[in-house]
Structure 1
């Protein structure tokens, strides 16, 4: 399958309760242990912020009677009051917050470097913008905030995020950088 056909075959749906364990597994395989969330944290975010937990799925075309989807990547976020990602925003979900704080963007190792993460992030941004525009005059969300490692800076810039500088957050042994995308 060529690159365009592969990307076009992706299906984006909110991660359901049955796929939370798979999402947690993907993160534990792709992140250092000190950065990976627990299954309990995944379950909490899925129940508290369902429309902020988007999955990228591939369809199993071998099944003729029903469509079986396999989770190959996801974006998981919560809402916060602060205009940037903070230690506090990492801890809980404020359903009245206006800042979408992305905690994780993760893709199965078998599907990395194929454009899944960027495609998924663009879909995510579009959904957030649409949801905000379909609300009231003030909008539901004002911005998306995240922190990332230095080697991921070009990826987030390519997706339209603005680098705000080195983060005040200390998490693990590496430096983190703040990014924001105004909606």
Structure 2
């Protein structure tokens, strides 16, 4: 499923360390003062931040990826000055000072707030969020905003503005069974009905996205596309699945096709009243060098 303005709902919808600011240790500049270093860098056309040169090679080509990806364990210690000022024309996304990180069960209330962007029948419930963020949090991703602060200002809690929530399935497409909340999931690792798995299937080769949602006030700011691009990159690089599957309404098909998803026709899913289309992104073999 998906955000209705940016294209992402419950049934739509790298390294994860901080990016180094520079390779300044490799520079052969003797032992210049801060002023000397600034002067040298300015002559070379290199922007400075806190006395360190910025490596901007990637920014000019991938303007949508001007965020920092951090691990859940690092989130509380995320330093403000590691987030680099954009070198391209500022966008509405830049104004959020965004970063992405994995979600956990501690983000359930945040996710509920974001999910309210969708019609009630298409929203993920609180219990489903608890289940998915407890059973397979590594398959979730959130985009947060954390404004840059002045010296001495207290650091607020990051605000979740968009999320992707998913589970694994052994089926090649999203199914109603994969979207269901298993009975007694808190006490049973696996749940079956009529010899078929219900909910998350560990080891399943398909990542089934159940929710791609963006808060209404932040729709139209490339939040959904930034999240999807980061999510696909993470799953592809980790090589943990053969494909990503999602269901969406007709008007969102072009959005997903722009990321490589292919339409597989009307979905059998009846979640939220039905009317979905199956979309699949297959991960083929790695290209030969």
TM-score normalised by length of structure 2? 0.57
Secondary structure of 1:30 counterpart: coil
Q: Match of 1:147, SS?
A: strand
Query: 2-side partners of 1:152 and 1:116: how far apart?
Result: 15
Q: Does 2:70 match 1:11?
A: no
- CA deviation map 1:92-149 (0-9, x unaligned): 11111110000000001111011110110010000001111xxxxxxx2000001001
C-alpha contact (below 8 Å) 2:229/2:259 kept by paired residues = yes
Q: What SS does the aligned partner of 1:169 have?
A: coil
SS in 1 for 2:107: helix
Asked whether the 8 Å contact 1:60–1:70 carries over to 2, the reply is: no
Say if 2:232 is the partner of 1:125.
Answer: yes
Instruction: Say whether residues 1:41 and 2:128 are aligned partners.
Output: yes
Displacement of 1:178: 0.3
Offset of 1:7 from its aligned partner? Answer: 7.6
User: How big is each residue's C-alpha offset from its partner over 1:136-164, in whole Å with a ceiling of 9 and x where there is no partner?
Assistant: xxxx2000001001111111111211111
- The answer to whether the 8 A contact 2:93-2:221 is kept is no
1:95 is the counterpart of 2:182: no
Using the TM superposition, give the Cα deviation of residue 67 of structure 1 relative to its aligned residue in structure 2, in angstroms: 6.3
Q: Could you say which structure has the larger radius of gyration? A: 2
Q: Could you tell me which residue of structure 2 aligns to residue 72 of structure 1?
A: 161
CA distance in 2, matches of 1:115, 1:100: 23
Deviation at 1:61, TM superposition (A): 2.1
Residue matched to 2:281: 181
Q: Which has the higher contact order (CA 8 A, sep 6+)?
A: 2
Residue 51 (structure 1) aligned with residue 151 (structure 2): no
Answer yes or no: is the 8 Å Cα contact 1:81–1:99 preserved in 2. Answer: yes
TM-score normalised by structure 1 residue count: 0.88
Shift of 1:17: 2.8
Aligned residues: 175
**1:89-168 → structure 2 map (5 Å cutoff):** 89-91=178-180, 92-132=199-239, 140-168=240-268
Q: Which blocks of at least 5 consecutive residues in structure 2 are unaligned?
A: 1-88, 181-198, 284-289
Cα distance in 2 between the residues matched to 1:114 and 1:67? 22
Partner of 2:38: none
> The residue matched to 1:172 in structure 2 has which SS?
helix
Say if 1:174 and 1:7 are closer, same or farther in 2 by CA, change over 3 A. farther
CA distance in 1, matches of 2:123, 2:173: 21
Larger strand proportion, structure 1 or 2? 1
**Residue pair 1:52, 1:77 contacting (<8 A) in 2 also:** yes
Alignment partners' CA distance in 1, 2:172 and 2:164: 19
- In the aligned structure 1, how far is the partner of 2:125 from the partner of 2:223? 24
1:81 aligns with 2:170: yes
- Normalized per residue, which structure has more helix? 1
